[in-house]
Amino acid sequence: MILTALFAVVSLGSAPTTPIASTTALDPFQTTTSDSVPHRKVARKKSVSSRARPVSDTTPSQKTPPSPAFTVTPLPNSLLPKNRIVVFYGNPLSKKMGVLGEYPQATMIAKLQDEVRKFQLADPSTPVKPGFHLIVSVAQGSPGKNGLYRLRMTDSLITYWCNLAESKGYLIFLDVQIGKSTVQAELKPLIPYLKRPYVHLALDPEFSMHHASEGYVPGKKVGVMDAEEINYAIKTLADLVAENHLPPKILVVHRYRQAMVTHYREIRPVPEVQFVMNMDGFGNPQLKRDSYNAYERMQPVQFDGFKLFYKNDRPMLTREEVVKLKPSPLFITFQ
C-alpha cells in the first residue's frame, strides 16, 4: 500500500469526502515520487453533503435522442463497435479503489475471465475483450511538494501492469485523475506506454479541479473537464496512431453528473480515436437506468460505457440487463 491517501470513485447518490487510507509500502514497486510527500493516514468517511445529485440530473427523458454532433466511420481495425470490452478498475496499491487491487492477482484475473464469459453468454453476437483499468495519476487530499494534489504511479508499476496485460492478451486503460495539474502535463509521461498497440487512455473529470471547481481540493467538490481538454487528448492519441502506425486508440471519459463534462457536443472523435462516455457512479437499478438514459442516450457522443459496482450497487444489474440497455454499452467497468 502507499503512504499517500488514495481516493475512491463516488456514487451517484452520495460520496466519501475524505481520502482512502493506506498504510505500508508494497514491494517491489517504489510507491512515492519526487513530487509527492507522505502525509498522515485518513479514515474513510461517507457523506451526502457535497455530491448528492440534483433530481434534474436523473430524470429520464422520453424525447427522441439527438444525433451525435460528429459522426465518424470506424476504421477496419477499430475495436468498437465490433467488440465489447470488460475491464477491472482500480489501483493495485489500494484495496479500497476497486477490484483491480482488492484481490490477489491470480484471483482477480480469474474473476475477470468469469465476467468475460458471463457477458459473452449475455450477448453471444458480440465478442468480449478483457482488460485492466489502471489508475496511474491518483487525486490526493494533500497538495504534495508541487501543490498539484495528485500522485503519479511509478514507471515500474505501470510497466509491470502493461506487460501483464500484454502477456494475457488483454487491453489496458491508463486512467488519469489530474487534481490541479492539467491533461497536457499528465499525458506527457504516458506517451511511451500509449505507443503500445494494446494501451489506451481514460480521463476522470471528477478529480479535475478546474473551471467551476477551481480552488477546491479533490474530494471536496466534484470536478469539471471541458471538451477542449478532451479534444487535446484525442489529438494527442491520434498523432501517436499516425506517427507509429498503430491501430485506433480508445479514450474513455467518466461521467456521473451532467456538469462534470462541459460542452460535450464539441467533443470530436476522429477515425484514429474512438470515444467512450462511461456512465460512472453507483446506485439502485432505476437510478442507474435513468442516469444512463440522461447522459448516454440523450447526450450521445460516440460509444457508450457503463460501470458496475460489486459492493455498492444494491442490487447490481445483471449482465443480461446491462446489454439490453439502449444503446447497449460496449465498455463495461467493474469496480
Give per-residue pLDDT as tens, 107-140. Answer: 999 999 999 999 999 999 999 999 999 999 999 9
Residue 73 burial by CB count (10 A; 0-12/13-18/19+): exposed, middle or buried? exposed
Task: Answer yes or no: is pLDDT of 257 > 70.
Answer: yes
Q: Which residues 6+ apart lie within 8 Å of 56 measured at CB?
A: none
Q: What is the pLDDT of residue 122?
A: 98
Calpha distance 47→13 (Å, rounded): 10
Please give the average per-residue pLDDT across 46-67, as a whole number.
50
CATH 3.20.20 fits 15-334, yes or no: yes
Please give the average per-residue pLDDT across 53-70, as a whole number.
66
Q: What is the pLDDT of residue 51?
A: 31
> Could you tell me the pLDDT band of residue 58, with boundaries at 50, 70 and 90?
low
> Could you tell me the pLDDT band of residue 63, with boundaries at 50, 70 and 90?
confident
Residue 63: what are its φ and ψ, rounded to 5°?
A: -70, 160
Question: Domain coordinates of the chain in residue numbers?
Answer: 15-334
Please give the average per-residue pLDDT across 226-252, as a whole number.
98
Q: What is the pLDDT of residue 253?
A: 98
Please give the average per-residue pLDDT across 175-184, as a whole number.
97
C-alpha cell at 139: 487525486
Q: What is the pTM of this model?
A: 0.84
Range among 51-55, 226-230, 288-292 with highest mean pLDDT value:
226-230
Residue given cell 494494446 in the structure block = 198
Please give the average per-residue pLDDT across 19-40, as a whole number.
30
User: Which pLDDT tens digit goes with each residue over 45-54?
Assistant: 222 222 333 3
* 208-216, Cβ contacts within 8 angstroms, sequence gap of 24 or more: 208/177, 208/178, 208/179, 208/183, 209/149, 209/178, 209/179, 209/180, 210/180, 210/182, 211/262, 212/259
> Could you tell me the pLDDT band of residue 62, with boundaries at 50, 70 and 90?
low
% of the chain residues with pLDDT over 70: 81
Calculate the CA 49 to chain-centre distance. Answer: 24
